[in-house]
Structure 1
Amino acid sequence: MPAPIRTSHAVVASPPQGDLPVGALSRRTTLSGLAGLAVPASGMRAPGLEFGRTYTSRGRSLSSLRNMFGVNVVTSTASGPYGQRETVLRALKDLGAVWIRSRIHTGNKGQVAFVNQLAANGIKTNGLIDLPGKRDTPEALVALVASSMPGAMMSLEGPNEWNLQGGSDWVAELVSHQTRLWNAAKANPATRNLAVVGPALGMRTGYAEFGNRSSIMDWGNIHLYTGGYVPGYRTDDVLRDERTVCGSKPIIVTETGWHNASDWHGPHYYTPEDVAGIYAPRLWLEYFIRDVPKLAIYELCDNPAGRNLREHHFGLLRGDLSRKPAFQSFANMNAIMLKTARHRGPSGAPLTFSVRSGPSDLRSALLAGNNGAFLLFLWRSNASIYDPVSRRRLTPQPATATIEWESPRRVTRYSPARSATSTQSEVTKRSSVTLGGELQILEIRPV
């Protein structure tokens, strides 16, 4: 598409966040803002369509969206929810995950076997290395990958949030550890073509201190959780800050998502399961329109051992492996995209259309299959359905987007937060879509 019109931005004030505990794989990135309002962060300039303008576009490849999606998975244990590996594999397939993020260890044959099994099913692994000072050195882990699972890996990632754990010398320690990972990976013929992912920094801090380390990473890396606020909140600020570290390199997201621990009343607010289910498709697309190539939800499975611990309730699956609404929304997205991709037809001409009217916060993404079909994703960036501070449900005022097609098209509608089944199909030259908090999908085919 032609470059979108840029809308104005709003400034928000953030209340104090308080201190948070430190863990190994954290979900601590707390977001605060104006209660109940889906307001962009300071300095954010969000993309939008120009109403009345005619667009002619081939869209982006449908595979570019599908190839983004990943999940954090523990692959090193044979017990608990993650130990039920066939169920885990089936869940990953239903989600359409093409990659996972998992900490790798030496001396764990079961992990090696499972990572290779995932790869045989089309799911590669971003291997998170251990922290400075631990037994598993960068060199040992690169040697493990090279000897036991080179074809199973997508990438190798530096230490997790060491700025929160490393003390006063964390910068020097992190630079040393990341440099060792880079040197070991690039020196080994079996791993030199794997992407080396920069270390994620925790709590949205440490970027200036860490400085530009683009010479020891192929991809930058962020963690960002919305804490019950709308998808996209603070995303532009954190991506901008990571540019201090990675320069012009691509930036991936290795942790994002929600916790559903209703008994938790501290910082990093609770998000009800059904709210996360509505927001899930929007989260994915908010990163897509910002050209983020890889996105990993934290995490696949809850830990059934800790009812009151927020750290145990970030899963897309509950501790008994039943599926939460966010899991089903992502799975519905996958099913809808697969349905479009499997349709047989010739590669078509570009799609010509104009958005005649719509809300000021309308966002869109046009994707093309290789069969003449398009998927148009439509959502509202500021449509908030939940106030995480008061735990109050919100009902955004519905708004209608009206789209005119140059010629009659078969338009089929989907709402992935509800179902993978279409809600309507018609041949038309004009489509009106009512938007609240849910993302809507239009599949557009020639007649």
Structure 2
Amino acid sequence: MNKHLLLTGCLALGFLFCRCEDGSLVDGSSPSMNEVMPTRASAFFNSIGVNTHIGFYDTNYADFQGMLKPRLLELGVKHIRDGNIWGGNSGDTPLTRCKELEQYGINLLLICFGGDPVVDDPVERAGAFGQMLWGIEPVNEPDLNKKPGEWEQHARNEQQRVFTAARSIPGKQVPVLGIALAENVDNPSRLGNLSSQLDFGNLHLYASGLHPTNQDFGNYWGTRMEVAISKARLICGEKPLIITEAGYHNYENSNQFRGCSEKAAAIYHVHLPFVYYNAGVSRTYIYELLDWNKAGVVDDMNMHYGLIRADGSAKPSFRALKNLLSIVKEEEVSYELSPLKFGIDPTVKDIEYTLLQKQDGSHWLALFRKVNVYDVKTHKDIEVDPVNVNVEFAEIPSSIDMYIPNQSDQIIQSLKTGDKISLQLGAELVLLKIK
């Protein structure tokens, strides 16, 4: 078997791990019992962000104190992506809102839209946002609704402008992302390699109602994950990659771009950050926090990407992601990682896993199945029958606790320990705390 090495990680964000395509160790250990080096739970926690539209005053984002701020803090995420930060009302501007969020440790990835060079001056923006500013991104999707030849040079100019300006920000080196495109198949080669003018690559990746690993359904936003990542590297080279938009809308009758039910989206949204983390993506910004609820606009998929409904209530995706973040959260501190030697039943072919570790020495093994839970043609949920999965350990753990983020952030079951455990794994991701 050709053991092509998969290198997953981002040194800039503090994580790195390697494994082969068959799941075995780089050193060639048996695939039935692998000694796997984990990554820090804090690195995974910080790999999850969310998109906001803080300056959309004609949507639900207008209600900062009653909806936007409390829901963002309740979710527990520490990274947001936004570009709508000018204007607003007297005493309530996007900038004053951001400064308030900064007090809670929220970090901002800021989009420069490339319209007004003065308004979109990265140096001015860095001074306005201070320590909250994590990174800067040039013009968003410049190829959207454009023909070849109409957008490429403008995009290159914007990348150069933002990168040059960012390097002149006094007292702080602010990371610069590459440009994210709307079309991920042909347009990356049209734009060309800009890796010398960016610190992170940038990609928008929507699964169009399917599981994040099952993206093979078109060449616009919906592009199979492996293809989209390889195409993004035509622009960013070997620089680390960030997915700045990924998620699911719940307007199931959309004829623009396929959605899925709230039930299905909740399962996919928990799988999604693990899928992209395993693929070497440094951070994924889920699109987005709130449904828009623009007056008079209902039958538009863009109104329905939120984790929070138009009436302010939480969708199942919000609760599941909140639980996940609560489970894996820990402070960013340096500690020595220790490998865990285990094997997963090879008869179940659709399983993927991620191994994390916390400062207390506990290992956290995420197990999930790469299955669709929604039929995009009939608009009906798919019931996935659970399968029995055996996990073997080289050393008997002292305790094994099961968590299911789609259900709770508390222990669902404490398993009987031994050198082998068996569990029923359906569509919902399971996290095993192993000590």
* Shorter-chain TM band: 0.7 to 0.9
Classify 1:223/1:347 alpha carbon distance in 2 versus 1 (closer, same or farther; 3 Å): closer
Look up the SS of the partner of 2:102 in the other structure. helix
Q: Are 1:309 and 2:292 counterparts?
A: no
> What's 1:207 paired with?
188
Q: CA deviation at 1:357?
A: 4.1
Alignment match of 1:395 (pick from 377, 383, 407): 383
> What's 2:11 paired with?
none
Q: CA deviation at 1:179?
A: 0.8
Answer whether contact 2:264 2:381 (CA < 8 A) is retained.
no
> What's 1:123 paired with?
106
Greater shift after overlay, 255-264 or 81-90? Answer: 81-90
Q: CA deviation at 1:284?
A: 1.1
Alignment match of 1:183 (pick from 151, 164, 174): 164
> What's 1:75 paired with?
54
Q: Are 1:156 and 2:136 counterparts?
A: yes
- Show CA shifts across 1:38-88 (max 9, x none): xxxxxxxx9554586323344110011100111111122456421222332
The percent of aligned pairs where both chains have the same amino acid is 27
Look up the SS of the partner of 1:248 in the other structure. coil
> What's 1:422 paired with?
411
Classify 1:348/1:201 alpha carbon distance in 2 versus 1 (closer, same or farther; 3 Å): closer
Alignment match of 2:35 (pick from 35, 56, 59): 56
Q: Are 1:328 and 2:319 counterparts?
A: yes
Greater shift after overlay, 172-181 or 88-97? Answer: 88-97
1:392 and 1:273 map into 2 onto residues whose CA distance is 11
TM score, norm. by length of structure 1: 0.82
Q: CA deviation at 1:231?
A: 1.4
2:257 and 2:188 map into 1 onto residues whose CA distance is 21
> What's 1:431 paired with?
421
1:261 and 1:180 map into 2 onto residues whose CA distance is 38
> What's 1:143 paired with?
123
> What's 2:328 paired with?
337
- Show CA shifts across 1:97-116 (max 9, x none): 11111014455672122222
Answer whether contact 1:300 1:316 (CA < 8 A) is retained.
yes
Q: Are 1:224 and 2:205 counterparts?
A: yes
Answer whether contact 1:49 1:362 (CA < 8 A) is retained.
no
> What's 1:198 paired with?
178
Classify 1:319/1:47 alpha carbon distance in 2 versus 1 (closer, same or farther; 3 Å): farther
Q: For 1:120, give the aligned amino acid.
A: Q
Greater shift after overlay, 142-151 or 363-372? Answer: 142-151
Q: Is there any run of 5+ residues in structure 1 with no aligned partner, and where?
A: 7-45
Look up the SS of the partner of 1:155 in the other structure. strand
Q: Are 1:240 and 2:230 counterparts?
A: yes
- Show CA shifts across 1:215-256 (max 9, x none): 111111111111111112211110000010110111101111
Look up the SS of the partner of 1:335 in the other structure. helix
Classify 1:347/1:143 alpha carbon distance in 2 versus 1 (closer, same or farther; 3 Å): closer
1:194 and 1:5 map into 2 onto residues whose CA distance is 31
Classify 1:278/1:411 alpha carbon distance in 2 versus 1 (closer, same or farther; 3 Å): same
Report matched runs for 1:29-68 at 5 Å. Answer: 47=21, 49=23, 53-68=32-47
2:109 and 2:39 map into 1 onto residues whose CA distance is 25
Answer whether contact 2:248 2:260 (CA < 8 A) is retained.
yes
Answer whether contact 2:39 2:337 (CA < 8 A) is retained.
no
Look up the SS of the partner of 1:280 in the other structure. helix
Alignment match of 1:384 (pick from 360, 364, 372): 372
Look up the SS of the partner of 2:151 in the other structure. helix
2:292 and 2:57 map into 1 onto residues whose CA distance is 14
1:267 and 1:389 map into 2 onto residues whose CA distance is 14
Q: For 2:326, give the aligned amino acid.
A: A
Classify 1:165/1:314 alpha carbon distance in 2 versus 1 (closer, same or farther; 3 Å): same
RMSD: 2.5
Classify 1:348/1:304 alpha carbon distance in 2 versus 1 (closer, same or farther; 3 Å): closer
Answer whether contact 1:71 1:299 (CA < 8 A) is retained.
yes
Q: CA deviation at 1:197?
A: 0.8
1:296 and 1:145 map into 2 onto residues whose CA distance is 21
Classify 1:439/1:313 alpha carbon distance in 2 versus 1 (closer, same or farther; 3 Å): same
Q: Is there any run of 5+ residues in structure 2 with no aligned partner, and where?
A: 7-19, 25-29, 216-223
Answer whether contact 1:223 1:254 (CA < 8 A) is retained.
yes
Aligned length: 394
Classify 1:398/1:105 alpha carbon distance in 2 versus 1 (closer, same or farther; 3 Å): closer
Look up the SS of the partner of 1:303 in the other structure. coil
2:85 and 2:188 map into 1 onto residues whose CA distance is 28
Classify 1:164/1:348 alpha carbon distance in 2 versus 1 (closer, same or farther; 3 Å): closer
Alignment match of 2:248 (pick from 258, 261, 267): 258
> What's 2:219 paired with?
none
Q: For 1:317, give the aligned amino acid.
A: I
Report matched runs for 1:80-119 at 5 Å. Answer: 80-86=59-65, 87-106=67-86, 110-119=93-102
